[in-house]
């Protein structure tokens, strides 16, 4: 069976939502505070296919799945979010991209040693449900940034590529100079 494209994964997930949940999804998409933002006129009353195109054109193929999963969790469609993330991770591992390491994996040692302000990163990871309350408390209790980063890598960031994608987006916002420096290497 040929692997599904990101658009097909998103379209299938959105098509399976009830009309009420699809409407909640539209509103949550428009209400997102992070950039890039989506205007109401692009999604109001539009079909799941148009929504899929808006997600991919706004957030790119790589970024659309984490955003969709985040929105699904926000509207309490946790099973759908889990299924989407799982299918995307399966597709990613089967697509031959095994040779190309994720930014987070590629720069693991540098991130452990150089991320200094981890608390706001942890707060966002908790808000986006990448880490749970218990893991959050455990990591916060550690004394150094390096210990916190090691624990984060050994637990929550092992879950999926989507978790790493979300972490990467948060890093770009909170440690922009570090990310720029590492991308230059």
pLDDT above 80 for 102: yes
Q: Residues 59, 7, 77, CA angle at the centre, nearest 5°?
A: 80
6-99 shares its CATH topology with 103-183: yes
The pLDDT tens digits of the residues spanning 5-45 come to 889 999 999 999 999 999 999 999 999 888 888 999 999 98
pLDDT above 70 (res 96): no
pTM: 0.53
Whether residue 97 has pLDDT greater than 60: no
Q: For residue 91, is pLDDT > 50?
A: yes
Average pLDDT, the chain: 87
Burial class of residue 85, CB neighbours in 10 A (0-12, 13-18, 19+): buried
Nearest-CA neighbor of 100 among 161, 158, 168?
Answer: 161
Task: Give 109-156 pLDDT, tens digit per residue.
Answer: 999 999 988 999 999 999 988 899 999 999 999 999 999 999 998 887
User: What are the domain boundaries of the chain?
Assistant: 6-99, 103-183
What CATH class is the domain 103-183? mainly alpha
Query: With respect to CATH, is domain 6-99 assigned 1.10.533.10?
Result: yes
Sequence-separated (6 or more) residues with CB below 8 Å from residue 37: 30
Distance (Å) of CA 18 to CA 56, 78, 113: 21, 14, 46
């Amino acid at each position: 069976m040929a692997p599904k494209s990101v658009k097909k994964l998103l379209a299938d997930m959105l098509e399976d939502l009830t009309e009420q949940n699809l409407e909640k999804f539209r509103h949550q998409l428009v209400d997102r505070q992070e950039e890039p933002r989506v205007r109401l006129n692009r999604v109001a009353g539009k079909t799941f296919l148009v929504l899929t195109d808006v997600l991919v054109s706004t957030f790119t193929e790589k970024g659309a799945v984490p955003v969709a999963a985040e929105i699904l969790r926000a509207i309490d469609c946790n099973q759908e979010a889990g299924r989407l993330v799982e299918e995307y991770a399966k597709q990613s591992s089967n697509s031959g991209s095994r040779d190309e390491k994720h930014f987070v994996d590629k720069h693991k040692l540098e991130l452990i040693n150089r991320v200094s302000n981890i608390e706001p990163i942890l707060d966002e990871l908790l808000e986006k449900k990448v880490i749970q309350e218990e893991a959050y408390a455990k990591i916060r209790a550690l004394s150094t940034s390096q210990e916190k980063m090691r624990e984060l890598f050994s637990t929550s960031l092992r879950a999926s590529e989507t978790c790493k994608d979300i972490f990467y987006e948060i890093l770009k916002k909170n440690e922009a100079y570090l990310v720029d420096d590492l991308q230059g290497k």
